[in-house]
Amino acid sequence: QVQLVESGGGLVQAGGSLRLSCAASGRTFSSYGMGWFRQAPGKEREFVAAINWSSTSTYYTDSVKGRFTISRDNAKNTVYLQMDSLKPEDTAVYYCARRYSSGGYYDPRDYDYWGQGTQVTVSS
């Protein structure tokens, strides 16, 4: 089965940057879209960003547009989330996920494999 492992989370001051990585196993990684979601305490898991298999299309939730950048390197089976100008409201556990081939991008139910998450904490 596909395994996803996130890394790169940590504690950063408001206005700072972090780069998250998601390393994936599986020989068919390059055939799937990938997404990042986040979940803050007491809140539902929410969509953050997604990228299609060829990196020709990207999608972002409005709150991170202009600050976050999703990218992927299929040769390394890795997807990235560059987070700049971080705000305290970005604090959450960030999850990497693989998209269903026939699914959408914004709903967690459109994804079939999930990593265990990495904590991002932005202090004020």
Q: Please write the tens of the pLDDT for every residue from 82-114.
A: 999 999 999 999 999 999 877 789 999 999 999
Residue 28: predicted pLDDT: 63
Residue 100: predicted pLDDT: 85
Q: Please provide residue 69's backbone torsions phi and psi, each rounded to the nearest 5 degrees.
A: -135, 125
The residue-averaged pLDDT of 65-69 equals: 98
Q: Which residues of 41-72 are buried (b: 16+ CB within 10 A; e: fewer)?
A: eeeebebbbbbebeeeeebbbeebeeebbbeb
The residue-averaged pLDDT of 17-25 equals: 95
